Amino acid sequence: MKDFLLVMVSAIFINNVIFARFLGICPYLGVSKKLETAAGMGLAVTFVMTLSTAITFLLHKFILVPFRIEYLQTIMFILVIAALVQIVEIALKKLSHGLYQALGIYLPLITTNCAILGASLLAIQNKYSFVMAVFFAFCSAIGFTLAIIIFSGIRERLEFADIPEYFRNVPIALITAALLAMSFMGFSGLVK
């Protein structure tokens, strides 16, 4: 139980995929203008990251390692992630067309979201068990979702703030992202 708690705190706060590992920056900056789309992206990433890590872990353990073709790991993992994203895209198109349109180009970009591939690779690199690997991926996705929701909430409020012209839009977003990353660094002493 202690190991699960350590992995959870580490994946969500200390080694956050966005703030500590710098993975998934494209959707973090691109989809975070509105809280609704940020939450939708967070849910989509959570689903894809958790499920893809489970599938890629099994693929690695039962196909790549026994046949000694670990060098195909990245290609195989990307194919699994791409297939899952297609499933999410089809489901969102049927279940929530508004969210599907709001996510726009960023939904297919989940396929190349390095946070998802990174979670799968980190789970194997850290030599987690299957259950721990899936839990790690889920917690990493929760960390991604937390980061993007906090950031989108701040960006929505910044639209009504009196910001100098040269700092509007992208510059203030980057400054805000840097301040958020620094605030998450405060958790770094919690777990070794």
In a domain, 192, yes or no: no
In a domain, 152, yes or no: yes
How many domains, in total, are found in the chain?
1
Q: Quote the domain boundaries for residue 174.
A: 2-187
**Per-residue pLDDT tens over the stretch 4-61:** 999 999 999 999 999 999 999 988 998 899 998 899 889 889 988 999 999 999 999 9
In a domain, 14, yes or no: yes
**161: alpha, beta or left, given left = phi > 0 and alpha = psi -120 to 50?**
beta
Give the model's confidence band at 84: pLDDT under 50 very low, under 70 low, under 90 confident, else very high: confident
- CA-to-CA separations, 110 to 27, 36, 66, 133, 139, in angstroms, rounded: 8, 17, 30, 20, 17
In a domain, 59, yes or no: yes
Q: Among all chains, which residue has been given the structure tokens 């990251």?
A: 49
In a domain, 24, yes or no: yes
